[in-house]
């Protein structure tokens, strides 16, 4: 009987949260297009916290350099890793904040010719 009562309370709380518009993790992700250069956080940017190679898009936003850490997915793997070099990129994807870093999960990536 206690288990049934607990389950009913959980259903009511979940329904209330859903109907009241409570946002859960991942709900604040916004889609943007970023133009910049892909470099390696460890090998090119020499980030102290980079334990392994990690692609980062460095973009100029309002005259300020902004770093977007690239989430690894099939699209970013297909685009390729840049180590000790750079590659121009136009990337569209969802932006999230994690551990004080801005991450982009790409849905589209192109390498401009110029």
- Higher-confidence residue of 88 and 4: namely 88
In the chain, at which residue ranges do the beta strands (DSSP E only) sit? 30-40, 55-61, 64-70, 87-98, 101-110
For residue range 39-49, list pLDDT tens digits in order.
999 999 999 99
- Higher-confidence residue of 19 and 53: namely 53
CATH architecture of 30-110: Beta Barrel (2.40)
If you average pLDDT over residues 54-58, what whole number do you get? 96
If you average pLDDT over residues 33-42, what whole number do you get? 95
Residues 6+ positions from 53 with CB-CB distance below 8 Å: 40, 41, 42, 43, 81, 83
The domain spans of the chain are: 30-110
On whether the pTM is more than 0.85, the answer is no
- Give the integer Cα–Cα distance in Å for 94 and 71: 10
For residue range 85-103, list pLDDT tens digits in order.
899 999 999 999 998 999 9
Residues in the chain: 114
Any bridge partners for residue 36, and if so which?
59, 89
């Amino acid at each position: 009987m206690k288990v049934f009562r607990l389950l009913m309370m959980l259903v009511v709380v979940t329904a209330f949260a859903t109907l009241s518009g409570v946002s859960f993790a991942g709900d604040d992700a916004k889609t943007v297009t970023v133009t910049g250069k892909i470099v390696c956080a460890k090998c090119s940017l020499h980030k102290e916290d980079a334990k392994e190679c990690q692609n980062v898009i460095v973009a100029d936003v309002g005259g300020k350099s902004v770093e977007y850490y690239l989430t690894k997915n099939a699209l970013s793997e297909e685009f390729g890793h840049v180590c000790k070099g750079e590659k121009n990129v136009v990337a569209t994807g969802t932006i999230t904040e994690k551990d004080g870093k801005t991450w982009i999960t790409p849905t589209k990536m192109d390498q401009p010719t110029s």
